[in-house]
Structure 1
Amino acid sequence: MAALGSAAPVQAAAPAPAPAPVPASHPAPPAGPSVAVALGDSFISGEGGRWLGNTDRYDKGRNGTDRAWTGTAYDPGRVYGATAAVGGCHRSDVAEILTAPLPVAERINLACSGAETQHVLSAARGGLSLNGEAPQTDRLAQIARTKKVTLVALSVGGNDVGFGTIIGDCAYDWAFSRLCWKKQAAEVDRKLPAVRAKVSAVVDDVRATMAAAGYGDGDYRLVLQSYPSPLPGGEEFRLREGDPNRLRRDGCPFNDRDASWARYTLVPRLSAMIRDVAASRGADFLDLKDTMAGHEVCALGTTQVGATGPDARQHEWFRFLDYANTQGTLEESMHPNAFGQRALGACLGLVAAARPGRYGCVADYLGDGSPTAMRIRPADRAAGR
């Protein structure tokens, strides 16, 4: 302060501080109608959706089970559209993303039969194309930038473990009265840690892709789902173990011990691995291991479809092993059929309507026995059946 009565030197006024730069606004999800997207493999693409139960009739509409029957010919495109070719993605019209009761304006199925984690992972992270299509997460990125994605459902990892190969090898061993489970269990033990890392990488990639498009984790639901068992335990088969009709008619050529290992060990281990990935990545988890209980291929209490036609309450919800391609294609074997696809859709709808968390989905035995009569419960409880 200047002394009293003295002249203070004249100083230029200090310039006002420049306003702090306004941070660039964080990008936000696009406005507009909401969209649900499916990513992954055959269990979510809709493989097997051509069929309404199984039958040993091989002509015409096959007792009403073959939805590809036009009345004069078989046209798989009626079910799988442009993806119907052998080896194609087989995105069926009853895939769970299409049948689930979801509050969205649009559903987009990017999943493809035969996909492994490398086909879902973006190209920038080493992902590969499949059937001439870009990696699924790259396609998700395009959708997320132009549409408001509110749900992503993901099923992946089964092909990396070699689930289809396991089924095929066990069927082969049945023909020679050999057990396969010990050999396959050792292979699963060897592969599972690497598969967990691959599934985790896919989830991280999906999260990063959505973030790059302006989404926070709370702007959409990411539902990571496990796999339903196509086989019952060995004690629950319709036919005795040595009956040749397990192959010739029922399409389930498996030893009781191998089936029990698959039902009570392999499928639960896959589910536990996927559950742990979901928990570590903050994703929702949909446990499907018990969803088809009582309606697996050859399960006691179910029958093949007869002349009166399909009835979901008494027939199988999985496609049997069509080992000779005598009806459809071998690749449809051991996948949820149209009944099973609707059950999966019902489960996804229930989880989407519930609070974020981990859930198991099972049949609601207080319901009418239809595939849409499902219920969810906390996954830890579901694990104990």
Structure 2
Amino acid sequence: MIISPSRRSKVLAAAAAAVCAVTVSGAMPASASGGVPAAAEAPLLVSLGDSFISGEAGRWAGNSNERRNGWSGTDRAWDPATGDSDPSRVYGASYDNGCNRSDVAEVRSVTLDVRRVNLACSGATSAAVLLPENGGAPFKGESSQAEQLEDEATGRSLRAVVVSIGGNDLGFSDIITDCATNFLKPFGGSPCAPDASGQVADRLPGVRQAAVNTLADVRTALDRAGHPAGSYRLVLQSYPSPLPDAARIRYPGEKYDRLTTGGCPFFDKDLTWAHDDLVPEISSVLAEAAREGGAEFLDLSRSFEGREVCSTATRQADAAHPPTGGTSEWVRFVTSGAGQGQKQESLHPNSFGQQALGTCLTLQLEQPSADHRCTNTAGQGPTAMRLRPLG
């Protein structure tokens, strides 16, 4: 492989730093580091990929339909002193381009001695991560994430890179939007599952290959940065289910309170399909990609069980019931963006969910390299996650 002079300089600089046992420190971009203080000698922990790891919806601590006290205390961007809400208080500068990297994003919520770097961006497909020579392209005004990774990792020690990718290559958001639209049709609406399941089956092989290609380019970027395979951990994770099956929804009867109150406007058949089939199928495909791409696999498909939007085991916050990690939903409910928050935050892990995923990642990296499944403890908060071997 031919390495450009600029790339060669980076590799040589990394090698020199390693030989001299010098830890290279320096200011990190605000959009990546979020200003988190870390010891100069702490190794990097880097997150790459899409909205489920960038921190989309981290602005919210549970869901509420009551406006008082910043939507009953759920809006973390609300300033009680001014009575105004400023999302940049949670998302920082990344709110300007829509990457929405929250202050409690998964990589920010780990309890490890690491230097946290969040390069993920809401809406990213695999093309936003790949190296340019392999089809990677700038996204939302930023260079490809693999390029950014190479720059960040050059001359620094590295503990792990964790990747969340595939949902946008599948078109998950469009599929779920179509399902919600069908529910809202005044006449003739019907479940989307029969048609959507066929679309998913057709697209999943492409999702698998996109994830494999992403992992390959991550390894290439790190090799160029002076980190050979085996010197760091590489983790590919799946997605938590944002919705319960129909048997566990607080709003029975397929009525409009699922929209107006719960923020879960879906037919029973679609709820059960998304929970029982869609999310596990995506997880299975990503597990295959991890094996082929030489990465560990972290299965998150059941990490929010009982904490999903409209689940019977949760409640919305109100004046008498402030949000807590043990009672609130861990996923942002569906919103049009005309009221509270942004439409793009819908059905993403909120601050409780992101902290739970941070606990999962902490547990994963505290164990020897292997595939695991992370689940929660019923009735308890984000710190009470459990990890078991995936077999």
When normalised by structure 1's length, the TM-score is 0.88
Report the alpha carbon displacement of residue 363 of structure 1 after superposing the two structures with TM: 1.0
Report the alpha carbon displacement of residue 194 of structure 1 after superposing the two structures with TM: 1.3
Q: 1:156 aligns with which of 165, 176, 179?
A: 165
Residue 145 of structure 1: aligned partner: 154
Question: What pairs with 1:235-246 in structure 2 (closer than 5 Å)?
Answer: 235-246=247-258
**Matching residue's letter, 1:230:** P
Residue 132 of structure 1: aligned partner: 141
**How far apart, CA to CA, are the structure 2 residues paired with 1:285 and 1:354?**
13
Counterpart secondary structure, 1:222: strand
1:192-251 deviations in whole A, cap 9, x for unaligned?
111211110110111111122222222110010000000001111001132211000110
Q: 2:48 aligns with which of 32, 39, 43?
A: 39
Q: 1:310 aligns with which of 313, 316, 323?
A: 323
Report the alpha carbon displacement of residue 74 of structure 1 after superposing the two structures with TM: 0.7
Counterpart secondary structure, 1:91: coil
**How far apart, CA to CA, are the structure 1 residues paired with 2:302 and 2:236?**
16
Q: 1:332 aligns with which of 321, 325, 345?
A: 345
Report the alpha carbon displacement of residue 29 of structure 1 after superposing the two structures with TM: 7.7
TM-align CA RMSD = 1.6
Question: What pairs with 1:63-212 in structure 2 (closer than 5 Å)?
Answer: 63-71=72-80, 72-85=83-96, 88-104=98-114, 106-176=115-185, 177-212=189-224
- The answer on whether the counterparts of 1:128 and 1:135 sit within 8 Å (CA) in structure 2 is yes
Larger Rg: 1
**How far apart, CA to CA, are the structure 1 residues paired with 2:274 and 2:200?**
11
Structure 2: where are the runs of 5+ without partners?
1-11, 24-40
**Matching residue's letter, 1:148:** S
**Matching residue's letter, 1:101:** T
Structure 1, 346-355 or 28-37: larger mean CA deviation:
28-37
**How far apart, CA to CA, are the structure 1 residues paired with 2:278 and 2:251?**
23
Report the alpha carbon displacement of residue 124 of structure 1 after superposing the two structures with TM: 1.9
Q: Which runs of 4+ in 1 moved over 6 A?
A: none
Counterpart secondary structure, 2:207: helix
Q: 1:321 aligns with which of 325, 334, 339?
A: 334
1:159-211 deviations in whole A, cap 9, x for unaligned?
01011111111001111331101111111111111121111011011111112
Residue 29 of structure 2: aligned partner: none
**Matching residue's letter, 1:149:** L
Counterpart secondary structure, 1:292: coil
Report the alpha carbon displacement of residue 364 of structure 1 after superposing the two structures with TM: 3.2
- The answer on whether the counterparts of 1:46 and 1:91 sit within 8 Å (CA) in structure 2 is yes
**How far apart, CA to CA, are the structure 2 residues paired with 1:194 and 1:219?**
29
**How far apart, CA to CA, are the structure 2 residues paired with 1:261 and 1:93?**
32
Percent sequence identity over aligned pairs? 43
- The answer on whether the counterparts of 2:170 and 2:203 sit within 8 Å (CA) in structure 1 is yes
**Matching residue's letter, 1:343:** A
**How far apart, CA to CA, are the structure 2 residues paired with 1:172 and 1:269?**
23
Structure 1, 252-261 or 304-313: larger mean CA deviation:
304-313
- The answer on whether the counterparts of 1:28 and 1:213 sit within 8 Å (CA) in structure 2 is no
Give aligned pairs, total. Answer: 352
- The answer on whether the counterparts of 1:29 and 1:145 sit within 8 Å (CA) in structure 2 is no
**How far apart, CA to CA, are the structure 1 residues paired with 2:349 and 2:277?**
20
Question: What pairs with 1:276-355 in structure 2 (closer than 5 Å)?
Answer: 276-308=288-320, 309-355=322-368
- The answer on whether the counterparts of 2:254 and 2:268 sit within 8 Å (CA) in structure 1 is no
Report the alpha carbon displacement of residue 113 of structure 1 after superposing the two structures with TM: 0.2
Counterpart secondary structure, 2:236: strand
**How far apart, CA to CA, are the structure 1 residues paired with 2:127 and 2:253?**
38
**How far apart, CA to CA, are the structure 1 residues paired with 2:111 and 2:69?**
33
Report the alpha carbon displacement of residue 60 of structure 1 after superposing the two structures with TM: 4.8
**How far apart, CA to CA, are the structure 2 residues paired with 1:28 and 1:292?**
45
Counterpart secondary structure, 1:219: coil
1:379 aligned onto 2:390: yes
Counterpart secondary structure, 2:262: coil
Report the alpha carbon displacement of residue 80 of structure 1 after superposing the two structures with TM: 0.2
1:268-303 deviations in whole A, cap 9, x for unaligned?
011011111111222111100000000000001211
Counterpart secondary structure, 1:323: coil
1:369 aligned onto 2:377: no
- The answer on whether the counterparts of 2:68 and 2:319 sit within 8 Å (CA) in structure 1 is no
**How far apart, CA to CA, are the structure 2 residues paired with 1:350 and 1:268?**
21
Check 1:133–1:324 CA distance in 2 against 1; reply closer, same or farther (3 A cut).
Answer: closer
Q: 2:270 aligns with which of 245, 258, 279?
A: 258
When normalised by structure 2's length, the TM-score is 0.87
